[in-house]
Amino acid sequence: MKTMRNFLSVFFVLFASVSFAGNPKSKGIAGQWDIKGQNYTAIYQMDAYRGKYYGRLIEYTQAGKTIKGGKEDYFISDVQKSKGGGFIGKFYTPDGKEHKFTLTWKSDTELEAKIDIGGKISVEQWTKRK
């Protein structure tokens, strides 16, 4: 009986570690994301710092033109977990204006971002890069 209990304990630990190892939901949102907006694509890097997340641009493509971001191009800030299981933070447009920003899990590797820009909601689909 003790051997069976030990086996079940080891099995549970292995199962849990494999289940959560590749699941961004269990690790937060740090890492690179492929972004799809209404008429553009991009790659964002989300970095964790002191319990919050900050996002910067890696690459942005619209109408066949690609812009590369820099290491200091953070335009998403103070992102933290919300009560609903998603995230809430601030999004800055190129003119420097601050906007409300939310992320909601759609699957283990996909998020939906909503940015409230003057009452108009802009929606992006985020897919975790491997």
Q: How many CB atoms lie within 10 A of CB 35?
A: 22
Q: 3-state DSSP helix/strand/coil percent for the chain, to nearest 5?
A: 20, 55, 30
The H or E element containing residue 17 is: helix 2-21
Per-residue pLDDT of 93-110, as tens digits, reads: 989 999 999 999 999 999
- What digits encode the pLDDT tens for the residues 17-69? 333 344 445 568 999 999 999 999 999 999 999 999 999 999 999 999 999 99
Which one has a higher pLDDT value, 63 or 1? 63
CB atoms within 10 A of CB 34: 16
Averaged pLDDT score across all residues of the chain: 84
Instruction: Tell me how far apart the alpha carbons of residues 2 and 78 are, in angstroms, rounded to a whole number.
Output: 49
pLDDT at 14: 35
pLDDT confidence of residue 27: 61
pLDDT of 16: 35
CB-based contact 78:90 (threshold 8 Å)? yes
What pTM was estimated for this model as a whole?
Answer: 0.78
